[in-house]
Structure 1
Amino acid sequence: MPHDHAIQCVHEPYLVVLSYLVSVLGSFTALQLAVAIPAATSVAQRMRAIVAAGAAMGGGAIWAMHFIAMLACNMDVPVAYDIGLTALSAVIGMVSCMFGLAIAGSGVFGWGKLVFAGVFMGLGVTGMHYSGMAAMLMPADTHYDMTLVAASGAIAVVASIVALWLAFNLRGAMQMFGSALVMGVAVCGMHYTGMAAASFVPNGAGDTVLAGGMSGDYLGMSIFVVTTAVLAGMLVTGLVRQRQRQLVEI
């Protein structure tokens, strides 16, 4: 339900675009790394592939996108972030993606397993988003439209099912890139639907509520720089290993 005195969130268009591009890069990197999961010849190799692909998807395509998109939201009150909850949201995002990949990629690939893994992963992504929202420190109370919260969760589940299907059924670089573009739209759709579900009402607490938190601008830009560098390194590694596998098969 809207509030008459709710604080308005005005999004910076260039940061919205940047959040989408980060999500696309994370998605493409995750798809490249996921190729190694079914190709693994040992449990250790399979676990490394799952961790790498899950970290790229959960940490890059979803979590980093989330906080850059939060930076895009300009409000008339100062905002900081609780470091513990911010870190927890990152863990939730990455672990849920790792488990989703592990479930969907175990044994014979099937739709029942895919849907189960997608629901698990989608709920984890939703938990990442709202724990990230809970990390916000500001002199305002957050209220949610539960219909839009449910819609954001549904988008996360559908996006997760699609992402997992793509991860185990695509091989060509152009197919993966096109799919990453679609995944970026889905991830952003989930985030901005979740943001639309929230309204922020001033509570008169003052700036003392920001004590102990990290500046939103500093956090967002730090996440962007570190995530982009890590994803670029992971992507190059994934491309090199895929090329090596192709040469061995020839």
Structure 2
Amino acid sequence: MNNPSVATGSLRSVTLNIEGHKHLARWVPVVKALEPDVVCLQEVFAVDLPEIEQQLGMRASFLPLSNILEVNRYKIHPLGLWGIAQLTKLPTRNRQAHQYGGDVVVPVFHEPNDSQRTVLSQEIEKNAAWHTIATTHFTWSKGGEITQLQREDFQRLATIIRSYDELVLCGDFNAPRGKELFTLFESLLIDRLPQVFTTTIDPNLHYGGDLQLVVDTIFTTAGYEVIGVHPFAGVSDHMGVVGEVSVIPTGAEATMPFGPVHNE
């Protein structure tokens, strides 16, 4: 599967939960050195995006999910609107935003689920191929155990996922691999993070320590090939995930179900 010709024409994709303003000096140089084509961020402040755009040499598309106006027990800076973003320097088209959970208006943040839940997607062109790249920050639960709210939000998200012909969905899914919620995602999409990787929580930067939970990944439909997927640490309380995404030519798709399928 490690095909150099595929990698040469692929779209290098990074996803990372940056935990707001805390780790800019850590993650920006690391991500820049990876030379990605698209960067999907969760927990990014709108006020930080101009600096991030300048440092990465990319344009950002942003969706606010919460408004953080006061000091809170999570020690998140009260810098206003934060949410999800995609950054790229490549041509884009067909930007879409689909809400599947949370309030109609952007809520003030006090607790982890004081948030809208939305998918941000756009098509990105590289080497004459258009890739549909999306990101989301899924509904939180304590201890990674599935809740009724997560089940309800997933059903709405599943309808959105099915509306795309092909899709790359990156993000922080708050769904530990091997548990019920992650399995629901695998019923629709292919998890591209190899099983050899057992956590995307940074043991040195996350308040919970070494949790051994995979909650961040790159999911795709069967029309994409993804190689070289791996996490990288030392950038935020979550590890980043990077991989090379390629469109499989029409008629050349492998016969496979939408899930569960894993890269080994």
* TM-score class normalised by the smaller sequence: under 0.3
**Greater share of residues in helix:** 1
The structure with more radius of gyration: 1
**Greater share of residues in strand:** 2
- TM-score norm. by structure 1 comes to 0.27
Q: Which has the higher contact order (CA 8 A, sep 6+)?
A: 1
